Amino acid sequence: MPTRLPFRRLLAATAASGLLSAPALAAEPPITIGLFTHLSGNFAEYGASFKNAVELYLDKVNADGGVNGRPVKLVVEDDRNSPQEAATVARKIVATPGVVLAIGSWSTTASLAAAPIFTEAKIAQISPTSSHPDFSKQSPYQFRQNNTDDVLAQYNADTIHKQLKANRIVIPYSQDDWGLFTVKATSAAIEKDGGKVLLTEAVMPNARDFRPLVSKIKSLKPDGVFLALPYQEASIFIQQLRQAGVDIPVGGGVPLTSPKFIELAGKAAEGVVVHSIFFAGDPSKKAFTDAYRAKYNRTPDQFAALAYDAAGVGVAAIRRVVQSGKPLTGQSVRDELAGGPPYEGVTGVTKYENGNVRKAPTFLVIRNGEFQLNK
């Protein structure tokens, strides 16, 4: 029969026992992840999607007890979609005690600028959306969640040929690293499939007057347009195209999967076809979509989904390191990312090969002011 203790002694013993376990848990330092993306300036909507999704994922991890009892802390930096600022904030992140993983950035240009800093610090960098093939070639520390631009180029061509049934194409493209590679690769894919690219024209950031380009398009009489542009310039272009009475089919790349494109373009966006590796209306994505809507009162886009999966695959790698008993370092997390098992996320399966992934597209059309499956 167990010995009975007076109530006060029992209470004291219980409190002492609690004090023994609580400091042991509290003594464990948090696991720190850095996130950098553009949270101000042009295209800040993309960065907001990143931040929202990563915070949503880590809130769930911490609510479930963290990683083996250790909370996960997020350090967020605004790189303003600038390569100079991206390098600056990357240095801040690697200087933060306990950082074992970095997520960012949105653009290839900013991601590339930060890559040497994370490589030197031996900290893995996962870009949710950097698609230029050069990003993952920088070092063994760079990983991506999105398809590379050479894969996306074929999806772009499929958008034009298979979805919109157009063959004579005009491509306005963004005057940056992504746009330059995209227009070249997409043009090659279109012509390989039997189409003809009549015109490619660079668009400078913040461009607002597309009337000269629209006049060229009217004179060339193409039967389709592919927009290799961010949502801001794309929305203005398509409004001016429709105002000029040009009613030919329009397709778009990954940047136009943001709801911001529909918001800014309004009725002019109707009928635009895009490809995505995430569709919020997919019943299999309901848990994520509902949680995102409940927290932020908006529907998640592909950029949110990719960032959510970047956090997911990163935390899974961290968890494996912790459970293995190995020291938790940037290097050990990188090794688990590179050699770990496939990760099933909301954008499909992540299994890295030289830092790259390959995910199948879903084609969407804008109808009645929202994305729907293009059937």
pLDDT at 20 exceeding the cut of 80: no
d(CA 73, CA 99): 9
For residues 284-300, average pLDDT: 96
3-class state of residue 72 by DSSP:
strand
d(CA 99, CA 321): 14
d(CA 135, CA 131): 7
**pLDDT at residue 8 in the model:** 36
For residues 327-351, average pLDDT: 97
3-class state of residue 27 by DSSP:
coil
**Of 97, 109, 110, nearest in space to 36 by CA:** 110
Q: What is the pLDDT of residues 101-113, one digit of tens each?
A: 999 999 999 999 9
**pLDDT at residue 21 in the model:** 34
pTM, 2 dp: 0.85
Contact assessment for residue 136 and residue 355, using Cβ atoms and an 8 Å cutoff: yes
**pLDDT at residue 27 in the model:** 54
Residue type at 75 in one-letter notation: V
